[in-house]
Amino acid sequence: MTGSRSKASYAGAIFSTLFRLFTYVFLRVIPIRWCKYLIPAFYLAYAVTIPFTRPLSPQSPSPSPPSTPEDNKQGSNAAKDESNNDFLWELLFSLPTTRVASIITWSINTLLIVFAADFVFTPLIDSAADVTFTRVGAVYPDSVKVIVRYPLIDHNATEHNVRILWRPATAADVEPWTDGPVLRLDPEFDWTNTTKLTKLWPSTEYECARIGVHEQDHATVPNSPIRFRTFPDSRLPTGSHFRFVVSSCLKPNFPYAPFQNGRIKGFDLLADYLFLESAVIDTPGIVEPVSVNDNMTESPIPLERNVGIEANGSVGNVVPATILEPERVASTEFMLFLGDFIYADIPIYHGDSKHAYRRLYRQNYNSPSFRKIYERLPIIHTYDDHEIINNYFGQSNDTPPFANAEDAFRIYNAEGNYDAHVSGQHYYDFRYGDVAFFVTDSRRYRSNPFTGETATRTMLGEAQLSALYEWLGKVNQTATFKFIITSVPFTSLWTHDAQTDSWAGYASEKASLLSALHTVANVYLLSGDRHEFAAIEFNPPNEVGVGAHVVREFSTSPLSMFYVPLVRTLRAASDAIVPRTRLRIVDEESPPEEVVEEVPMERVLKYLPIGNYKWSTIEIDTRNPEHPKLNLEAVIDGKVAYNLPIDATPVKLRSSTALGSMVPDSIKDILDRVGLTPNRWF
């Protein structure tokens, strides 16, 4: 380039470039809190320099020999190319070349500041006060929880009532609606309430709808019915075959798209995955099949293929997939959402008030993306720190910020969960057939991770820890698979702030609990929080005893939020090494031989850090009690990225005393029609 520029021109270019860089990071990479201060500061600094900048000033031409027509043509083309390059340089780095380019640069920067303002302030402006929804939460063999929000248009009203109607979905065209319970809705609870439909049959599909109590014509229902299927009776020895979805962490419209603040792309992709089955099952993805079994027989795939992270911390290669079989998979019965359903403090803290927290929940339920899921799939919740404030630990649960944050979580999500054994608590357990779940509260009772001795710190608190141990004793011989849900990772392999915010900061309680888990067959931990996917294996030390079981953890997030590019925060294995005996199959004619090998106490089976949209589906098949199976499928950005089939340990379950196993469905139907309720007998 030729010509001269003022110092203000270069200063403006620097401020403009920094403004664009931080705006891009803020809107598309990570919504870092301090960017909300830097972005307007750099924009204002750039704007201040505009009156003092000037385009290129031509230099005095130097004498040149007479030119020919060909020289003139070449010179004209060269000048044109240089002009185009100057124009592109101006647009990219805001270096002034022409008045037109300067106007375009200003327009681009102004549009970017508008986008940033839209991302930050729209959640503060949009109250979503009129959002209406009906969804299903906890599902039992004979009942279901239904959550309704239905505000009155007249905002001066103090309350109104709605009725829930229900009927079997298989005979929806001929079956009349049955009157269910009446819900009282009032502004004190944000026009939201939860009820339970009872006297239902196990493993049966129903539909329910909301109607005003004064509307007597049940033939016309004012909203689309919500379908659900009751869970099987856990006392029946029939086995289970089903899938469920697990994920955590969502922020509407991130990565940012202009003026689409109601969109949650992760839910859009999940809806396509769940409800457009042909696109999911018949289309190949990126799949790495790995066979794992608890009997420690040698896998036909080398062990190195099981480890998705190299010794230096880099991500291992993902092998191309083979085309999946078009066989129909098990139905998806529910979703476990493991926390950070809202981000109360990103990109700005919305304030410690009931209104501020409730508004964020309403905005998510008002999202057409989320509606695609919660109107078709039961969702079970726990919470993590961002429903309250970043890295929250149970300081004083009766004072800010917990009290108002818990109020909103309870109204919108917790009331729809399974009932806790102790009123007012957010840890609970439930079952699906012969599969048991314990959902922990890993925020409310945790000690300050920065004070005191490690041995005295607690993640769960005494009462919750006792409830977890009691649950383990109950399900040890009554459930084939046992899932423990914790919003933060159980493994200590994650670094940085995870060393204090996850179970790594509570090493003593973790070690004691892990020793107990090694004595129970088929225990799996499900976690989120880290905005990455990892499958972790915990190998039992010798002191646990003979017959100890491997414990595994699947950590999945975010459903729809940022991931950290370039930086890798998960170590491949722990420093602690334990001996492990496994069986190696030499050939088909020889008996398996025992092989003792040294393995890390904790090691990564697979690490997938990249991707804004992640969830895992877990398929359980216990129909053959001698060969129970689990299959994990990790999906990233809408494509299958990892597949882990596991041959689990057979568990001899205690025999059922349920009378229902001896009563034909036809007899049950007759009893039901004459007003008897045999579902209460078994």
The pLDDT of 213-227, averaged and rounded, is 65
Which residues 6+ apart lie within 8 Å of 339 measured at CB? Answer: 248, 249, 381, 382, 383, 384, 385, 386, 387, 487, 528, 529
Query: Whole-prediction pTM value?
Result: 0.85
Q: pLDDT at residue 66 above 90?
A: no
Residue 301 has a pLDDT of 30
**SS3 at position 69:** helix
The region of weakest confidence among 38-47, 187-196, 270-279 is 270-279
- How large a percentage of the chain has pLDDT more than 90? 63
Whether 241-647 and 133-229 are alike in CATH topology: the answer is no
CA distances from 402 to 248, 460, 517 (A): 20, 16, 31
Per-residue pLDDT band at 323 (split at 50, 70, 90): very low
Residue 438 has a pLDDT of 98
Is the link from the previous residue into 347 a cis peptide, with omega within 30 of 0? yes
Residue 48 has a pLDDT of 92
The region of weakest confidence among 105-119, 243-257, 580-594 is 580-594
Return the beta strands (E) in 132-240 as ranges.
133-139, 144-149, 160-168, 178-185, 192-197, 205-212, 226-229
Calpha distance 230→432 (Å, rounded): 10
Q: What is the mean pLDDT of the chain?
A: 83
Per-residue pLDDT band at 391 (split at 50, 70, 90): very high
The full DSSP string for 213-268 is TT---TTS-SSPPEEEEPPPPTTSTT--EEEEEEE--B-TT-S--TT-TT--HHHH
Residue 630 has a pLDDT of 98
The region of weakest confidence among 105-119, 120-134, 418-432, 585-599 is 585-599
Residue 69 has a pLDDT of 58
Residues facing 615 on adjacent strands: 635
Pair 194, 415: CB distance under 8 Å: yes
Q: pLDDT at residue 375 above 60?
A: yes
Q: pLDDT at residue 161 above 70?
A: yes
Topology at the third CATH level for domain 133-229? Immunoglobulin-like (2.60.40)
Sign (positive/negative) of CA torsion 495, 31, 17, 84?
positive
CA distances from 367 to 197, 329, 373 (A): 26, 28, 10
Residue 316 has a pLDDT of 36
Residue bearing the bigger pLDDT, 5 or 278: 5
Calpha distance 30→566 (Å, rounded): 13
Nearest to 526 by CA among 557, 550, 548, 495: 557
Calpha distance 222→216 (Å, rounded): 12
The pLDDT of 545-557, averaged and rounded, is 90
Domain residue extents for the chain: 7-59+67-125, 133-229, 241-647, 657-682
Residue 654 has a pLDDT of 78
Residue 326 has a pLDDT of 40
Calpha distance 160→184 (Å, rounded): 6
Pair 522, 492: CB distance under 8 Å: no
The region of weakest confidence among 317-331, 431-445, 604-618 is 317-331
Residue 55 has a pLDDT of 58
Q: How far apart are the first and last CA of the chain?
A: 86
The pLDDT of 488-517, averaged and rounded, is 96
pLDDT digits (tens, 9 = 90+) for 632-673: 999 999 999 999 999 999 999 875 444 444 344 444 444 454
Calpha distance 558→611 (Å, rounded): 8
Residue 299 has a pLDDT of 34
CATH of 241-647, one of 3.40.50.2000, 3.90.1150.10, 3.60.21.10, 3.20.180.10: 3.60.21.10
Residue 413 has a pLDDT of 98
What single letter denotes the amino acid at residue 649? T
Residue 264 has a pLDDT of 98
- Letter string b/e over residues 383-403, b meaning 16 or more CB atoms within 10 A of that residue's CB: bbbbbbeeebbbeeeeeebbe
Per-residue pLDDT band at 541 (split at 50, 70, 90): confident
Pair 227, 206: CB distance under 8 Å: yes
- Letter string b/e over residues 97-118, b meaning 16 or more CB atoms within 10 A of that residue's CB: beeebbeebbeebeebbebbeb
The pLDDT of 510-536, averaged and rounded, is 97
The pLDDT of 303-311, averaged and rounded, is 33
What single letter denotes the amino acid at residue 453? E
Residue 304 has a pLDDT of 30
Calpha distance 347→287 (Å, rounded): 35
Calpha distance 375→276 (Å, rounded): 15
